[in-house]
Structure 1
């Protein structure tokens, strides 16, 4: 049976595998390793009914990126206690790079 920590790591791995998305960890925690959960895993909340994943998008259009992430995460839940949970992806931030101009503020 998969444990919460292992599931968090796998979900963060799926976020990083989608070109144009990254985990939206709270400011300053994205690369922290000394916390009980790695910093990036704070972008994911695991509940019985909903798995919420907060991301930063650096590419457009958003819909294909979010669909790709949802499609990658859903199989991870199969056969676990979270198999019935809905996957909700929240774009917490839109990076200026999404507009093709890093000077946008």
Structure 2
């Protein structure tokens, strides 16, 4: 396993502890289930100057969820060769359940 692969797995593990986000991966099909690698790693791009992680939002509002994710991911990078790399979280989609939950919360306040 390469250092980048190990780092991608560590970042995904940190992201997995954040309620409200998941890695943005290609849709899975019966073909995807036979791929011999972790498809979640496709959501992580790592180079020396930039770490980019594509995510799907599962809850709203986004700012507090993204701040929590950023803190956890920076902690994961600390002490590695990517300590000074920029971190970019890209929200590629919002899960429909997040919007439904938001509508219910808005209706309750009305």
Unaligned runs of 5+ in 2: 102-110
Unaligned runs of 5+ in 1: none
Post-superposition shift, 1:31?
6.0
Instruction: Determine which structure has more spread, i.e. the larger CA radius of gyration.
Output: 2
Is contact 1:45–1:51 with CA below 8 Å preserved after alignment?
yes
Post-superposition shift, 1:62?
0.4
Match of 2:36 among 27, 34, 40: 34
Q: Tell me, what secondary structure is at the counterpart of 2:36?
A: coil
Structure with the bigger percentage of helix: 2
Is contact 1:58–1:95 with CA below 8 Å preserved after alignment?
yes
Post-superposition shift, 1:33?
5.5
Give the match for residue 80 of structure 1.
80
User: Cα RMSD over matched residues?
Assistant: 2.0
Q: Following superposition of structure 1 onto structure 2, how do residues 53-92 of structure 1 map, counting pairs within 5 Å? A: 53-92=53-92
Describe the superposition over 1:15-39 as per-residue Cα deviations: whole angstroms up to 9, x where unpaired. 211111111012228866503xx11
C-alpha separation in 2, matches of 1:76 and 1:21: 17
Task: Give TM-score, length-normalised by structure 2.
Answer: 0.79
Describe the superposition over 1:15-69 as per-residue Cα deviations: whole angstroms up to 9, x where unpaired. 211111111012228866503xx11111110111110010001110001111111
